[in-house]
């Protein structure tokens, strides 16, 4: 009994691990996502039937791809009698080995650019990437984003219909593609990570299934595009954030960086992240393109994770990196994060002047930063009102618990 | 190959501009059109008269109704369009970007239904 449920778990693990590769390979070969997905599902059924008696094959991914390919051809043979188009497509692509031109392009790389195409709505990009590349079920994705399963299924179906109708290609875009296609892919992965890292809703403050999935996608992308600084930067950023995950919460409460138990940080993730950041720095030093936002954010996190004591943090370097980040991406949220670092370097009064100049009313982190600066300046009554505003603006239970405790520690000026 | 409609979003302000002001736009669009023809991408294209020139004809449900003006009263409307041939949406987007630069308006890209 245990053995068979262990085997089932192992098959599920392999299937999920290999799903993106199988679907991507079939999507290229047959030019149709539905055919690819259906065939992958059929291959799983066959695996569940055979592997318990035959054993897991030595190359399970290859087995699944071959089996799925055969299933797809069977299906097309049945259907091609009435559809000459499919027949033609099958004859062109059948058994033709993929001849790479220039650098070897993994089919998954084509597929990720399709899933993250700017012609698709951002939430559809996220859903498609998790479904097709990550191998998550529609139910899992729906649960992760707290929407009804039917809503999520519809979102994915519509996106696939648009890919088909508008002929969104399965192709790695040209280098000179004007629409920053790689940026769109990285944005999807980072969005998945952030939704997991500080959940905007729901009961769990962190959803590790999302952070883990984002890191897995980041690793795949890194493997496919090893020369891209921003790909390395995003992976490093996620690893250095993930390394602090367990220290970020204690007793259901968010623990800020200055109060975290640093012995709880994951040293191997930090080492991996630091190595990536060093690689990015070396690439920039050797005259490659100036670092983009992900590399700079990774560098900021590398500085934070470089010391064993919060008081040893090199704040001048952090502020300098934030200046660089703001130059690349001048958003009020980056200005806010920069101001928090400025508070450590130049004092809370200087930082408060910056924070007050930002038009971020209603954003939980803006109210939380303002509350903290007012508290440090001894302006308790204003700080209290600001904590209230921050609590009203967040839906994350652990953040609420943290803010409530901070507010409770304020001295009541009326006493 | 797929045919795509490149629809130019326009409005009254565009039509109110002087001929002098529009001359460089006409020239840019003309150059773009010639390039489309030379590259074998061109199917059809043209600019439309202002919206006041529109008539709506309704022959549904056995009725014959002719009314002055467009079907929908909107501030923005179709000012002109191209129909092009492109292998996929990425190629269509590239052409649409050139179209938008030439005519100085936003361009909506929409695939035709497969035959």
Domain boundaries, chain B: 2-111
For an interface test with B, give the residue of A165, A167, A170, A178 to mutate (most B CBs within 10 A): A167
pLDDT at position A222 is: 94
pLDDT at position A97 is: 44
Residue B77 has pLDDT above 70, yes or no: yes
Instruction: Compute, in degrees rounded to 10, the torsion defined by CA atoms A70, A72, A73, A79.
Output: 150
Listed by number, the residues of chain B in 53-92 with a beta carbon closer than 8 Å to a beta carbon of chain A are 87-90, 92
pLDDT at position A89 is: 53
pLDDT at position A88 is: 55
What's the whole-model pTM score?
0.82
Beta bridge partners of B78: B9
Please state, in angstroms and rounded to a whole number, the distance separating the CA atoms of residues B70 and B79.
13
Query: Is B107 in contact with B9 (CB distance < 8 Å)?
Result: yes
Q: In terms of C-beta density within 10 A (0-12 exposed, 13-18 middle, 19 or more buried), how is residue A209 classed?
A: middle
pLDDT in tens, B93-109: 999 999 999 999 999 99
| Nearest Cα to Cα of residue A239 among A319, A178, A279, A298 | A298
| Contact check, Cβ <8 Å, B87/A169 | yes
Q: A206 CA to chain B: closest CA distance, Å?
A: 37
pLDDT in tens, B31-63: 999 999 999 999 999 999 999 999 999 999 888
Q: Is residue A77 within 8 angstroms of chain B, CB to CB? A: no
Query: Is A355 in contact with A339 (CB distance < 8 Å)?
Result: yes
Positions in chain A short of pLDDT 70: 1-2, 81-105, 176-179, 199-203, 205, 413-415
Chain centre to alpha carbon of residue A40 = 24
Please state, in angstroms and rounded to a whole number, the distance separating the CA atoms of residues B5 and B110.
5
The alpha-helical segments, DSSP class H, found in A132-261 are 138-144, 149-165, 181-197, 208-224, 229-242
Q: Which two tokens stand for residue A75?
A: 């299906």
DSSP letter for A98, please. P
- Going from the C-alpha of B41 to that of each of A119, A121, B17, B112, the distances in angstroms are 21, 28, 30, 15
Domain range B2-111, CATH class: alpha beta
Residue entry with tokens 């007012």: A374
Q: Which two tokens stand for residue B112?
A: 């035709």
Please state, in angstroms and rounded to a whole number, the distance separating the CA atoms of residues A276 and A299.
10
Query: Is A110 in contact with A28 (CB distance < 8 Å)?
Result: yes
Q: B79 CA to chain A: closest CA distance, Å?
A: 23
Of A119, A177, A178, Cβ closest to residue B89: A119
Q: How far apart are the first and last CA of chain A?
A: 67
ipTM of the complex: 0.86
Please state, in angstroms and rounded to a whole number, the distance separating the CA atoms of residues A341 and B79.
51
pLDDT in tens, A361-414: 889 999 999 999 999 999 999 999 999 999 999 888 889 999 999 999 998 756
Chain B contact set for A177 (CB, 8 A): 90
Chain B contact set for A169 (CB, 8 A): 87-90
């Amino acid at each position: 009994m245990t053995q068979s449920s262990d085997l089932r778990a192992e098959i599920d693990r392999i299937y999920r691990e290999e799903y993106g590769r199988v679907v991507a390979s079939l999507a290229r070969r047959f030019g149709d996502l539905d055919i690819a997905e259906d065939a992958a599902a059929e291959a799983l059924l066959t695996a569940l039937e055979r592997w318990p008696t035959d054993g897991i094959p030595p190359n399970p991914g290859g087995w699944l791809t071959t089996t799925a390919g055969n299933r797809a051809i069977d299906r097309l043979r049945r259907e091609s009698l009435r559809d000459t188009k499919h027949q033609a497509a099958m004859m062109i692509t059948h058994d033709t080995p993929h001849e790479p031109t220039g650098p070897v392009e993994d089919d998954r790389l084509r597929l990720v650019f399709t899933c993250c195409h700017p012609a698709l709505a951002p939430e559809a990009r996220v859903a498609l990437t998790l479904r097709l590349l990550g191998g998550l079920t529609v139910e899992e994705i729906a649960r992760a984003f707290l929407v009804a399963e039917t809503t999520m299924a519809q979102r994915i179906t519509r996106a696939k219909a648009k890919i088909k109708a508008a002929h969104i290609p399965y192709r790695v875009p040209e280098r000179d593609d004007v629409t920053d296609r790689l940026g769109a892919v990285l944005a999807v992965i980072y969005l998945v990570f952030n939704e997991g890292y500080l959940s905007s809703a729901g009961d769990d403050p962190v959803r590790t299934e999302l952070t883990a999935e984002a890191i897995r996608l980041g690793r795949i992308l890194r493997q496919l595009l090893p020369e891209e600084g921003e790909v390395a930067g995003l992976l490093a950023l996620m690893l250095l954030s993930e390394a602090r995950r367990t220290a970020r919460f204690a007793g259901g409460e968010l623990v800020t960086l200055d109060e975290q138990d640093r012995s709880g940080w994951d040293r191997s993730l930090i080492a991996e992240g630091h190595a990536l950041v060093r690689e990015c720095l070396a690439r920039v030093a050797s005259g490659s393109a100036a670092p983009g936002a992900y590399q700079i954010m990774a560098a900021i996190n590398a500085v934070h994770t470089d010391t064993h004591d919060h008081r040893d943090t090199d704040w001048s370097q952090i502020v300098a990196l934030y200046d660089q980040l703001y130059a690349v991406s001048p958003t009020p949220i980056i200005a806010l994060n920069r101001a928090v670092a400025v508070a450590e370097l130049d004092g809370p009064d200087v930082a408060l002047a910056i924070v007050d100049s930002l038009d971020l009313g209603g954003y939980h982190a803006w109210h939380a930063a303002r509350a903290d600066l007012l508290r440090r300046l001894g302006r308790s009554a204003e700080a209290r009102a600001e904590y209230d505003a921050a609590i009203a603006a967040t839906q994350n239970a652990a953040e609420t618990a943290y803010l409530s405790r901070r507010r409770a520690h304020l001295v009541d000026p009326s006493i | 190959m797929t045919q795509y409609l490149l629809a130019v979003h326009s409005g009254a302000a565009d039509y109110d501009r002087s001929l002098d002001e529009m001359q460089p736009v006409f020239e840019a669009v003309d150059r773009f059109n010639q390039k489309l023809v030379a590259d074998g991408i061109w199917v059809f294209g043209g600019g439309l008269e202002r919206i006041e020139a529109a008539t709506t004809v309704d022959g549904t449900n056995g009725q014959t109704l002719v009314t002055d003006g467009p079907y929908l009263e909107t501030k923005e409307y179709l000012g002109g369009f191209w129909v092009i041939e492109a292998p996929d949406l990425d190629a269509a987007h590239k052409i649409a970007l050139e179209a938008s630069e030439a005519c100085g308006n936003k361009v909506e890209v929409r695939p035709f239904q497969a035959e």
